[in-house]
């Protein structure tokens, strides 16, 4: 089974949402993981907005990119510029592709309430979901 890995700086939001979407849509066809260059913890707003679309990522946790260096990853997707700069190459035959998305916590910074923050998370969630659905079609075409 092919293994895909989503990378972001802290593995707290964008890469966690991508992992959730991919497991939901592709989990029976691929091994799916996410990691970060400087992992922290899963963002509670990411958990909340993913639950709104019926995808539970509450059991996911932040992982280090170092945990996957020897894991036989076939394809790596960097989701932010920082992760793309820190992981320009990957051991083995992995293909690296950059697909950048805005950072919801940065967009939500300065908002006055959680209700004002959530639209930023929802927009990025939906953009990632649409991208994963296109990726699903691409991977199915190559299967």
140 lies in some domain? no
The catalytically annotated residue of 55, 65, 80, 94 is 80
66: domain CATH number is: 3.40.50.2300
Domain range enclosing 10: 3-135
The catalytically annotated residue of 4, 5, 7, 8 is 8
| Total domain count, the chain | 1
12 lies in some domain? yes
82 lies in some domain? yes
Q: Helices then strands (H, E): number in the chain?
A: 5, 4
142 lies in some domain? no
CB 62 within 8 A of CB 12: yes
CA distance linking residue 9 with residue 16, whole number of Å? 11
35 lies in some domain? yes
C-alpha dihedral (130, 135, 141, 143), degrees to nearest 10: -140
Q: Is 87 a catalytic residue?
A: yes
0.75 surpassed by pTM: yes
The catalytically annotated residue of 22, 87, 128, 139 is 87
HSE at residue 96, side-chain half, CA atoms within 13 A, is 16
Q: Residue-wise pLDDT tens for the chain (143 aa)?
A: 889 999 998 999 999 999 999 999 988 889 999 999 899 999 999 999 999 999 999 999 999 988 888 778 888 999 986 655 666 556 665 688 889 999 999 999 999 999 999 999 999 999 999 999 998 887 765 55
In the numeric block, the tokens 């992982």 are attached to: 63
């Amino acid at each position: 089974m092919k293994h895909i890995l989503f990378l972001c700086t802290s593995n707290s939001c964008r890469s966690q949402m991508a992992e959730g979407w991919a497991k939901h849509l592709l989990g029976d066809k691929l091994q799916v993981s996410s990691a970060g260059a400087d992992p922290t913890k899963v963002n509670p707003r990411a958990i909340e907005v993913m639950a709104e679309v019926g995808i539970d990522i509450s059991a996911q946790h932040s992982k280090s990119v170092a945990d996957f260096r020897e894991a036989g990853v076939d394809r790596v997707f960097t989701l932010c510029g920082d992760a793309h700069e820190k992981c320009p190459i990957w051991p083995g035959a992995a293909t690296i592709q950059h697909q950048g998305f805005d950072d919801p916590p940065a967009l939500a910074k300065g908002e006055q309430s959680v209700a004002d923050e959530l639209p930023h998370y929802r927009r990025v969630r939906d953009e990632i979901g649409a991208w994963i659905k296109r990726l699903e079609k691409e991977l199915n075409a190559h299967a």
